[in-house]
Structure formats: C-alpha cells, structure tokens
Structure 1
Amino acid sequence: MSYSRLGPDWVRGADGLRERRAARVIVLDERGRVLLVRGHDDDQPDRTWWFTVGGGIEPGESEREAAVRELAEETGLRLDAEHLIGPVLTRSAVFDFFSEHCRQHEAIFLARVPGTAALSVSGWTALEREVVDELAWWEPGDLREASVEVFPAGLADLVADLHAGWDGVTRHLSEERGGQA
C-alpha cells in the first residue's frame, strides 16, 4: 500500500480511486439554520468550501456511532445516538484532496440542537486543524447566495425540507464532484 496524506482509512477501490465510508450530520437549530464547516485544501490554497459535519467511519464503528463521534469531535456537540435522525440521505462524492482523486460513500444523518449550544473545536484532529477554517450557522436563504461552494449541492433546499420534517425515506443524492473530506 502506498502512503497517502489522506490517512489509512482511504483505500484504493477497483477503479483506482482512493475511497472510504463516512458519516455526516446535517445539524439544524430550532430556527432552521444549518451548522457548516469551512475548509480548504493545502494543495489548492485559493479554493475554499462549506460542508456538513462528519468524516470517516472507524473500524468496528457503525454509521450512527461515527456520526455521533464526528459531531462531538468537530463541534463539541454531544448527542446520544438515538437522537440522530436517519440516515436521511446517502451519497457518493468524488473530489480531489491532497492532490489525490477520491470517492467518499456517505450516510447523512439529521441532528436538531438549540442554536445557543456552545461549539468547540478542541476535538479537531491534526489534519482538521490543518485544513478546517471555521464553523458557522447558516440561514438556508444565505446558502443559496453563498459566494463559495457548498456541499452537498442543493443543501439549502435539503435543509428547508428537513426543517419542515423528515418523511422517513432515505434518499440517495446522485454522485457529486466537489470538495470536502
């Protein structure tokens, strides 16, 4: 196996792309705002994007367990697994990161939290401290007018639908090209 800055959980798939499984969380407050992470790629310093909280699933971890862990590590928000809703969405995202072409297979959950919940980045890994810039609450309307990329595509509409209530159906978003890790 060749060394990759991406980490050991990224393995070569049959098509040669590095890939991994991940869990993400759409975090909504009572006003319908969504908590997003802004990151960048050191290999593309002029490019930045906003994305949902989450990351790779560790060996022996379920998607739900990974989502709870990632939520705590990246935001300081601690929820019991049964408070996550879903997965509400799945998707496979293809993107370039650290000069590598990657595919990430994602289960995306929904979490509802108070907008007054204290956020903390003290759980960020060394990699996250290197490539993650900030956390911020976004109004869905502002997402539609964002001047930088937002992932997944169409997040503003997804957030509006989920804020209104989830119908219990896990939807699959078509494969998306873009950025996030």
Structure 2
Amino acid sequence: MAEPADDAPAVRRVARVVLLDPLDRILLMHGFEPGDPSDDWWFTPGGGLEGDETHEQAALRELAEETGVTEVELGPLLWRRRCSFPFDGRRWNQDEWYFLARTAQTATAPGGLTELERRSVAGLRWWTSAELSAARETVYPTKLAGLLRTLLDEGPPSTPVVLAPEFVQGVPPGAPGGTHG
C-alpha cells in the first residue's frame, strides 16, 4: 500500500453495529447527502471513536446516540472494511469495524444526533433479511444483504472477515470543479 500524500485525509477509526432484534431483523439508518436529499442510502448505526475509547465502547455509545437503543448484548467483531466516499463537501476515509449486537428493544428514539447527523439522517427502519435482499435502494456496505444472510445461516465467523475496500468516486459537493456521484 502506498504511503498517503501529506494532504490526504487521515483514516477515521469507526465502530459500526449490526443490530438484530429477536426476529433477526437488522436496524438500518436512512441517510442522505445534506445538500441533495434525493442522494440517499441505508447504513448500519455507528461512528468515529472518541478519545481513547475502544471500538466496543464507541459501538455502544454511537448506538445509544443514533438509535436510543441501550438494552444491548454486544457480540463479536464480524467484519472490517476500508472505505472512502464524498459526503458533505469532503472526502471521508474510514477503517470500519462491524460488531454483532442483539436486543429485544425495538423502539427507537435517536436523541444524541450530531448537527451533521440531524441534517443527513431521515430515520431508522428494521429490515428482514428477505426485505434487504430485495431492496433496490443503496445499502452500505454494498454486500450487506449477503453478509446478513450468511450471518443468520452460519453464525458469526470465527475470526473477523475483511471485506473488500469500497471507494465511492466523485468529488465532494462544494469542492472546486466537482459534482457528487
């Protein structure tokens, strides 16, 4: 792997949660580009580590802030993924860790959203595996439907699976000379 250029954005350490309810439905967030609500997608709850917190601590904190779900049994690390994408006028480079979690608490109440999240999150939805497999909407990571099916059929992997990196092209909106997409 090449060394990043001096002006390359730092890699953000992120903890994400694959939250399953007693019916094995997964909770996803509905996000969109703040300047273009028609540019939307679904994704797992989670976010960047703060200070010296662990990935597990960040996963639980982010889950509580973004969904209001606090009655959680955090399970193993399932997957890791590197990704890069334009969002809100800049490029984000992330090292994401996906943890399995289970809950009986299906009511959501996102009360700790950041200002950016308030401008870019349309809501939350519980999805069955079949609904996710049939979805025509954009979902991240892009192979989540298959990953979820494998998880439900085979259980968590014995060691975390490293997913293929995802690099979304496009210049962030507002950047000189670019359009989003």
Q: Which TM-score tier does this pair reach, normalised by the shorter chain? A: 0.7 to 0.9
Deviation at 1:79, TM superposition (A): 4.3
Deviation at 1:123, TM superposition (A): 1.7
1:31-180 aligned at under 5 Å gives the runs 31-79=23-71, 83-114=73-104, 117-164=106-153, 165-178=155-168
| Cα pair 1:86 1:168 within 8 Å, conserved | no
| Runs of at least 5 residues in structure 2 that lack an aligned partner in the other structure | 170-181
| Runs of at least 5 residues in structure 1 that lack an aligned partner in the other structure | 1-12
2:175 is aligned to: none
Q: CA RMSD, aligned part only?
A: 1.9
1:9 is aligned to: none
How many residues of Structure 1 are paired with residues of Structure 2 in the alignment? 164
% of aligned pairs identical?
Answer: 38
1:23 is aligned to: 15
Deviations along 1:98-157, one digit per CA (max 9) or x if unpaired, are: 12222111111001112x532111121222111111100011122122222100111111
**Shift in CA distance, 178/120, structure 1 to aligned 2, threshold 3 Å:** farther
| Cα pair 1:20 1:103 within 8 Å, conserved | yes
Aligned-partner Cα distance in 2 for 1:172–1:44: 32
Deviations along 1:15-51, one digit per CA (max 9) or x if unpaired, are: 3135311000001112221100010112343210000
TM-score, normalised with respect to structure 2: 0.83
Return the index of the structure with the highest Cα Rg.
2
Q: Partner letter of residue 153 of structure 1?
A: T
Aligned-partner Cα distance in 1 for 2:74–2:34: 32
